[in-house]
Amino acid sequence: MCGIIGYVGGKKAAPILINGLKRLEYRGYDSAGMVTIDKNGANRFRVVGRVQNLDKAVSGLDLNMTCGIAHTRWATHGKPTQLNAHPHSDSRERFFVVHNGIIENHSKLRAQLESEGVVFTSETDTEVLVHLIDKLHETNLESAVEKTLQLVEGTFGIAVVCADEPSKIVCGRRGSPIVLGVGNQEMFVASDVSAIVQYTDQVIYLEDNEMAIVTPNDYQIRTLDNKPIARETLQIDWNLEEEGMGTFPHYMLKEIFEQSTTVENAMRGRVMLNEGSSMLGGLQSKIDQIKKLKKIVIVSCGTSYHAGMVGRCIFEQLTDISVDVELASEFRYRKLRLDETTGVLAISQSGETADTLAAIREARRKGALTIGLVNVVGSTIARETDVGVYCHAGPEIGVASTKIFVSQLVILNLMALLIGRYQSISLSEGVDLLRAMGEIPRQIQHILSRASVLEDLARQYYKVSSFLFIGRQLHYPVALEGALKLKEISYIHAEGYAAGEMKHGPISLIDAQFPTMAVVTRDATYEKMVSNIQEIRARSGPVIAIATEGDLHIADVADAVVYIPDTHELLQPILSVIPLQLFSYYCALYRGCEIDKPRNLAKSVTVE
Ligand code: G6P
């Protein structure tokens, strides 16, 4: 949520900053800005809208300065206007700040500063930071930033420059990530590695309540109460090739089509077919404790929460452990009774979602074992959990999550199988599941080869104003995920429902203009689902069924059928979600929506 990039070195800063912002734009994109500085002063540009507007605003200008900071904003305090865009500055334009997070005591600080005569130019919470830095500046920028950060409550990832100290960036972190990139006589500062990975693979993550003083050839890290920290650089493994769109018109479509590879990557080196089990190196150090867990609570948000709901069914089937799944934003405020017999499993693509992070911190405080299932390597949740497993799915750029969902489902199966094989799952049950998993990549390709079926259906339905998605058991979260995808990228109102709840409300909405997508694969609840579909049809509601290949009966019941291959029951959601992703994509396409950057959303939600 909001993106930060900073550069100090020997090259022109402006193109590096703009490039970095383009890579960060998936984090927030309602306004953008940058400032470059040298001993003669500062050049600041701020625009409403996309980074390309900023690019246009500076094109043709000869910006030679070799130090600067930039920001892409997702508005929290104040509308997306030029004045609210970052970087913010003091009245003399000496200090400049970009900020991610929320300064919770900003009103009090603002009132105090205003009473001292400071004139504010924006409605943001961020602006108090820069006026405080100006007010508290005596000897150097770092001590002014340090004193300022001691006064603020809330969360921040910040980068600050001062025109009087033009080869220096000072940054700080509490709650919002900041990473330093070490180059050859140049340094980078960013809110996530994707902004700097094209320039260096040597990075250092700041921890909470730390700041860094960054100059072209050096960096010093210290705590906000001035204790020096020694930290080695980490080498990151990020393939830039994976980041381009290739021949696809949108990242979302590219990521949907990558899903057979995503599944292979999630399985690679982890399947022990002969033992009917899995090998997850990241859990090994605590495996004895994991085997004895009495309870697992899965915490997550958004699409990762839907993966968690599927995960509950998987753990229930494969292990003897009781499992709860909770929205991280609710879990963190509950009165929790946790101890070392409870595992709290945080599922997160970004590894930075504020509520999920807060949930695992709370769980740790209470003595639970924390486990991460994260995609972004080195992210905060990955670092702060006791043990964990990576998705290894590469960068996911489209705001609407697709390939990470299937990756999470594969790994949840592998995790549960690992535990279940120490409990009541037999060798042959384990082998059956793994054999079926081995077929999934090919089955995904088969579904994708018929994407045009979903495109045709989308052409038929994209003008409707509401859609219902229903499913049971493992397919209930898939229905929720289908509805989430449709609403987030096409802005069609969509609701996901457990099919058994149909008669408790949503059926009153059904008519010829209110279609339903029903996930009705061959499983124990098949007959009940068919009855629900008939109830909808009896009220003239059109129904599209996602059904198992070979199920001819369903074609008599539904208006349209999308077939998916048969697989092990626990793996069915991996296949059944793909037609729903495609359907949403094509509806959004026909409606002319900005598919990769839907309005008001951000890929990484780092504020509560
Ligand atoms: C945002 C994204 C979703 C994502 C959710 C949770 O809402 O737009 O795609 O599912 O955050 O993010 P996480 O990174 O924790 O999985």
pLDDT at 238: 65
For residue 308, report the distance from its CA to the centre of ligand 1, in Å: 13
CB 606 within 8 A of CB 155: yes
Single-letter amino acid, residue 421: R
Percent of the chain with pLDDT strictly greater than 90: 83
3-state secondary structure 188-232: EEECCHHHCCCCCCEEEECCCCEEEEEECCEEEEEECCCCEECCC
Query: pTM for the whole thing?
Result: 0.82
Any ligand 1 atom below 6 A from CB of 606? no
CB 123 within 8 A of CB 84: yes
From the alpha carbon of 399, which atom of ligand 1 is closest? 8
Mean pLDDT of 268-288: 95
Strand segments (E) across 53-186: 67-73, 88-89, 95-100, 156-162, 169-174, 179-182
Give the model's pLDDT for residue 336: 80
Query: In the annotation, is 597 catalytic?
Result: no
Residue 572: which pLDDT band, with cuts at 50, 70 and 90? Answer: very high
Cα of 562 from ligand 1 centre, angstroms: 27
β-pair partners for 33: 46, 71
Tell me how far apart the alpha carbons of residues 461 and 588 are, in angstroms, rounded to a whole number: 11
First to last CA, the chain: 11
Q: Where in the chain is the domain with CATH 3.40.50.10490?
A: 265-443, 451-591
* Ligand 1 center–CA 306 separation, angstroms: 11
CATH number, domain 3-236, options 2.170.8.10, 3.40.1010.10, 3.60.20.10, 3.30.70.1710: 3.60.20.10
Q: Which atom of ligand 1 is nearest to the CA of 350?
A: 14
Answer yes or no: is pLDDT of 439 > 90. Answer: yes
Catalytic site includes residue 2: yes
Q: 168, 485, 487, 603: which is the annotated catalytic residue?
A: 603
Residues 265-443: name the CATH superfamily. Glucose-6-phosphate isomerase like protein; domain 1 (3.40.50.10490)
356 lines ligand 1 (CB under 6 A): yes
- From the CB of residue 217, how many other CB atoms can be counted at a distance below 10 Å? 13
The CA 27 to ligand 1 mean position distance, Å, reads 11
Question: For the residues 242-263, what does the mean pLDDT come to?
Answer: 89
85-96 pLDDT per residue, tens: 999 999 999 999
Tell how far CA 352 is from the center of its chain: 7
- pLDDT of 12-43, one tens digit each? 999 999 999 988 876 667 899 999 999 889 99
Q: What is the pLDDT of residues 576-604, one digit of tens each?
A: 999 999 999 999 999 999 898 888 887 77
Report how far ligand 1's centroid is from the alpha carbon of 379 (Å): 14
Residue 241 has pLDDT above 60, yes or no: no
User: Could you write out the DSSP letters of every residue in 449-492?
Assistant: TTHHHHHHHHHHHTT-SEEEEEE-TTHHHHHHHHHHHHHHHH--
Give CATH 3.60.20.10 domain extents, the chain: 3-236
Tell me which fold the domain 451-591 belongs to: Rossmann fold (3.40.50)
Confidence grade of residue 193 (pLDDT, cut at 50, 70, 90): confident
> What pLDDT does 351 receive?
94
Question: What pLDDT, on a 0 to 100 scale, did the predictor assign at position 50?
Answer: 86
What tokens appear for 394 in the block? 């590469």
Q: Copy the structure tokens of residue 271.
A: 């399947």
For the cut 70, the answer to whether the pLDDT of residue 503 exceeds it is yes
- What is the pLDDT averaged over residues 148-162? 95
Give the pLDDT band of residue 119 (cuts 50, 70, 90).
very high
Nearest-angstrom CA–CA distance, 72 and 79: 14
The pair of structure tokens assigned to 188 is: 């980078």
Q: Is the CB of 358 under 6 A from ligand 1?
A: no
Q: Is 348 in the pocket of ligand 1 (CB under 6 A)?
A: yes
pLDDT in tens, 465-490: 999 999 999 999 999 999 999 999 99
- In tens, the pLDDT along 135-154 reads 999 999 999 999 999 999 99
Q: Considering only CA atoms, which of 259, 253, 602 is closest in space to residue 409?
A: 259
- pLDDT above 80 (res 242): no
Instruction: Establish whether residue 399 lines the binding site of ligand 1, counting it when its CB lies within 6 angstroms of any ligand atom.
Output: yes
CA 326, 330, 332, 334 torsion-angle sign: negative
Instruction: Report which secondary-structure segment, H or E, holds 357.
Output: helix 354-365
The closest residue, in CA terms, to atom 7 on ligand 1 is 302
CB of 132 shorter than 6 A to ligand 1: no
The DSSP secondary structure of 25-80, one letter per residue, reads GGG--SEEEEEEEETTEEEEEEEES-HHHHHHHHTT-----SEEEEEEE--SSS-S
Overall average pLDDT of the 195-215 stretch: 94
Pocket test for ligand 1, best of 1, 27, 332, 353 (most atoms within 8 A of CB): 353
Which residue from 604, 607, 608 has its CB within 8 A of the most atoms of ligand 1, so it is best to mutate?
604
- For residue 353, the ligand 1 atom closest to its alpha carbon is 15
Q: Tell how far the Cα of 401 is from the centroid of ligand 1, in angstroms.
A: 7
Q: Is any ligand 1 atom within 6 A of the Cβ of residue 329? A: no
Phi and psi at 472, nearest 5°, equal: -130, 155
Give 401-426 pLDDT, tens digit per residue.
999 999 999 999 999 999 999 999 99
Residue nearest to atom 2 of ligand 1 (CA): 603
* Cβ of 350 below 6 Å from ligand 1: yes
CA distances from 183 to 6, 196, 577 (A): 13, 10, 42
- Sheet containing 156-162, strands listed edge to edge, beginning at the edge strand earlier in sequence: 88-89, 95-100, 156-162, 169-174, 210-215, 218-223, 228-229
Q: In the sheet that 322-327 helps form, which strands lie side by side, from edge to edge?
A: 322-327, 295-300, 342-348, 369-374, 387-390
* pLDDT given for residue 78 in this prediction: 83
Ligand 1 nearest atom to the CA of residue 301, by list position: 6
* Element at 346 (helix H, strand E): strand 342-348
How far apart CA 10 and CA 65 sit, in angstroms, is 9
Work out the pLDDT band at 394, boundaries 50, 70, 90: confident
pLDDT in tens, 319-369: 999 999 999 999 988 888 888 999 999 999 999 999 999 999 999 999 999
Q: Amino acid letter at 544?
A: I
